[in-house]
A = this chain, B = another copy of it.
Amino acid sequence: MVRKLDKRAPLTGSDREALASLHITQKTYEPGSYLVREGMVVEASMVVLEGLAYRQKLTQEGGRQIVSVHVPGDFVDLENSLLHVADHNVQALTRCEVAAISVRDIIALIDTHPRIARALWVDTLIDGSIYREWIMNIGRRRAKQRLAHLLCEFAARLRMAGLGEEDGYRLPMTQEQLGDATGLTPVHINRSLKALEAENLIVRRRHYVGIPDWDRLRQASGFSELYLHLDQEA
């Protein structure tokens, strides 16, 4: 994590010391359990150490929308340190190891260590960029392409987080969750996955997604990693 921050804004020795001396509480969350609930006033900020987590909102009518998925190294509720009340839910996708830091400590840290503040800020700006891409993906792409784009994003981010092999990765999401992330129904996700497989754009085994030809999938989905700002990643 420190390495990631350093990449985002060069840290000084005292920055590193401050980070090292933070009081961190480690917690484990079971799949589906909530790390943050909408409306909550949050008193700790969390970084995913291991496992996957996602942010989610519900419409009045009960429609669920997953608005982001997080890999190890991501902050999942930094916003809640500075915004007073949580505007969405955060849930564990798989079993998650999480490091929690109290909001008080975070605020003290950013008020005294501008480089760290900047690095954290960059982190939330990249989140924002990913949100913008998701808006475009959901608003302007057809189901098959939309799903393919999501799979490309996961591939790129998991690789960045040091997970996943060269030609594929383990994706522990149900088709219903993929639907909630893309604004589609699980039934249509199923059909779209099959369509992608029929075109040899992906290969499916259990919860594993194989990508036989990265360039073809990237081309078919319109994926371009510019928006992930990987040059500012660890």
Q: Which residues of A contact B (CB under 8 A)?
A: 38-39, 55, 57, 59-61, 63-65, 67-68, 79, 82-85, 87-88, 110-112, 114-115, 117-118, 121-122, 124-129, 131-136, 138-141, 182-183, 222, 226-227, 229, 231-232
**Residue contact A84 to B135, C-beta cutoff 8 Å:** no
**Residue contact B117 to A121, C-beta cutoff 8 Å:** yes
Given contacts A128-B124, A132-B131, A141-B59, contact A231 B79 (CB under 8 A): no
Give A115 to B65 CA distance when docked, in angstroms: 34
Nearest-Cβ distance from residue A177 to partner chain B, whole angstroms: 13
Closest to A128 in B: B128
A-B contact pairs, 19 of them (CB 8 A): A59-B136, A60-B222, A61-B222, A63-B141, A65-B136, A67-B132, A68-B132, A79-B129, A82-B118, A83-B126, A88-B129, A117-B118, A121-B124, A127-B128, A128-B128, A128-B131, A131-B131, A131-B135, A135-B138
B59, B82, B125, B133: the one contacting A222 at CB < 8 Å is B59
**Residue contact B128 to A79, C-beta cutoff 8 Å:** yes
Nearest-Cβ distance from residue A143 to partner chain B, whole angstroms: 12
A65 to chain B: which residues have CB within 8 Å?
135-136, 139-140
Give A117 to B140 CA distance when docked, in angstroms: 34
A64 to chain B: which residues have CB within 8 Å?
140
Nearest-Cβ distance from residue A9 to partner chain B, whole angstroms: 8
Given contacts A118-B111, A132-B131, contact A139 B83 (CB under 8 A): no
A134 to chain B: which residues have CB within 8 Å?
131, 135
**Residue contact A135 to B67, C-beta cutoff 8 Å:** yes
A132 to chain B: which residues have CB within 8 Å?
55, 57, 67-68, 87-88, 131
A83 to chain B: which residues have CB within 8 Å?
122, 125-126, 129, 229, 232
**Residue contact B82 to A136, C-beta cutoff 8 Å:** no
Give A131 to B226 CA distance when docked, in angstroms: 18
Closest to A80 in B: B125
Nearest-Cβ distance from residue A222 to partner chain B, whole angstroms: 4
A117 to chain B: which residues have CB within 8 Å?
110, 114, 117-118, 121
